[in-house]
Amino acid sequence: MPPMTTNAATDPMIGRMIDQRYRVRSRIARGGMATVYLATDVRLERRVAIKIMHGHLADDQAFRERFIQEARSAARLSHPNLVGVYDQGAEDDTAYIVMEYIPGITLRDLLQEHRALTPEQATDILRAVLAGLASAHRAGIVHRDLKPENVLLADDGRIKLGDFGLARATTANTATGAALLGTIAYLSPELVTRGAADSRSDIYALGIMLYEMLTGEQPYKGDQPMQIAYQHANDTVPLPSAVEPGVPPELDDLVAWATARDPEDRPRDAREMLDHVSGHQQRATGQYRTAVLRPENATAILPAGGSSSSAVESTDASGPADATRVIASSTGGAPAAPARRGAPGPRRTGAHPGALSPAGQRLADRSAKRRKRGWIALAIVVVLAILAGVVGWALGPGPWGNVRIPEVTGKSVTQARQLLQAQGLRPDARTDTRYDAVVAKGQVSTTKPAAEREVRKGTAVQIVVSDGPRMIPLPAIVGQPLSTVTAALDDDFQLQDDQYEFSADAPEDTVIAAKGLAADGQTVDLSSVREYGERGPVTLTVSLGPVPDVTGKTVEEATAVLDGVGLTVGAQQERYDDAVPKGQVISSEVEDSPAVKGSAVDLVVSRGPTPIALPDVAGKTINEATSTLENLGLEVSVPDCKNVLCRFYDWKASLPVTATDPVQGSTVYRGDTITLSYEQ
């Protein structure tokens, strides 16, 4: 996103050189934990984004650990749709992270400019975010703060997901403690109620983002954050088409699937949702169907007019001033007695004293017609109410009612048929099959229509049986570089955490073994099979290279070498060695086989040459003494005989030794020189 307008006067970080490498240029954005700046890496001459933790948080160990955790979490990930992390460090108690700089805008900026996006635009952005998030989920990382502000739209068309500041490993305890982390508008129900998050919590946030992209507004609103949190925990996210009628049914279904309140009803992770969006399986199984909506019962409201009626008419030909008001009785009797206003009442005519005047008769006839119409209207209302009740019963608990298709995944075909029949549905006699990397072969994979769809009672439902995972040919694994093997397996299988061990036969970072799991749970040596089930777990064993040879090094030097590769020094023995100087390592041996990081290496350390107590050779001939001492590894020196007689016989074989230098009993070592004395 473009840098914010600011200068060194308002932000002292601008213009500062960090770690003698990163020169801060301008501010990009500011968040709750840190501020992001545009900087120049003067060493590599490139623009980077550097996130610097707020100074007031420097003394808070929890925030520092969370900040460092973001760098480590993001650095483990490498994907075209994720913002790359280059470096992390601290200077003057200020922690920072160096990231890839993405010139462009955020998804929030795009929504503020255009409000709602077209279904095609929303789907393209969703697919890119899912691709990057799938890489994070595969590495065991949960983002926990998905929102439009963290989706970056580069000027060159790239779409990247960033800001793993709240990321946590899925294997870690993800309870948030006293406060909820993440933006309240995108929090999943389980994060609100239990404070726990996993990959399905990210899926919920994506569903809310998709709703917002399609409609231009968030599904829940409130004056207080707790009002919105309460709606997340207790309400069902409405369909986008209720706000934007042009939204296709497929995207309605996708939003409903991703924002299900029960995490078990959502996609397991971003990879499953991405496969669904891409249509790899849905084209074959017909998963996308137009939703059937239950019609609302309508009630006709009729005007009430049959209970009473009245008429006003002037009966005096002289004018309206002395008019007499006649009110017709609601029981159908004769008109009530006139209410006089100082003028005579209606005139009686003919010989019958009770007869009404022509005007009064007209009023009476009119009242009778009105009473008749009132009774007819009342009868119509009663009949309509009865019909509405019958129709409501038929459309509710009756034979025309709507029901939800139960979830039967993982059950046997017989159990699935029984559950469908119990709901008033009609299981299709024919079953279909499809590859399923999760559900065991022979068990129910899904239904057509899919579970949780609302349909009429009696609707035919086809059961789709799992044919097990699709078998995929395996590439060459053993003996190949780890990066090559990972790239070849990543799209089709679930790579587990690599195992590392030392090997004298394989260079460092070379795969030396690969294991998987068979359908019965037994371990499979993947180097001995040609194909393996799709999405099956794969554990790679990687060589750390040979154990370093520390022969001839001092104990301190050997310890430093072994620590450098993750090994420790175990037991130490000392022995005399005439060839290895004192204090140096004669030999080493690893206690574990195979050796792994943390294994101990036992050392044999030289005590120097073997000491020898000089024997007593006095009285022996020079030749005998010389032989005795040389057999002990000693050198012998004999002074020349200066007596003339020595020239005429073998004096070394005859003359006895009188003394030695050093004297007998002295401690000497192999190679030392002993001088013999004798009488000439």
| Number of alpha carbons in the 13 Å side-chain half-sphere of residue 672 | 18
Tokens of 231: 């709606």
CB 136 within 8 A of CB 106: no
Cis (ω within 30 of 0) for the bond into 594?
Answer: yes
Helices (H) and strands (E) in the chain, counts: 14, 32
CB 602 within 8 A of CB 662: no
CB 486 within 8 A of CB 514: no
The β-bridge relationship of strands 34-41 and 22-30 is: antiparallel
Closest CA to 39 of 107, 110, 87: 87
> How many angstroms separate the CA atoms of 646 and 419, rounded?
121
> How many angstroms separate the CA atoms of 216 and 116, rounded?
4
Coil vs helix vs strand at 587: strand
Coil vs helix vs strand at 599: coil
In this structure, what DSSP letter does residue 11 have?
A: -
> How many angstroms separate the CA atoms of 3 and 473, rounded?
49
CB 251 within 8 A of CB 240: yes
Q: How many residues are given for the chain?
A: 680
* 316 catalytic residue (yes or no): no
CB 537 within 8 A of CB 479: no
Helix, strand and coil content of the chain, in percent to the nearest 5, comes to 30, 25, 45
Return the H-helix or E-strand segment holding 34.
strand 34-41
Coil vs helix vs strand at 146: coil
Q: Write down the catalytic residue from 87, 145, 269, 316.
A: 145
> How many angstroms separate the CA atoms of 295 and 392, rounded?
10
Cis (ω within 30 of 0) for the bond into 353?
Answer: no
In the sheet with 104-106, reading across from the earlier edge strand, the strands are: 104-106, 151-154, 159-161
Catalytic residues: 145
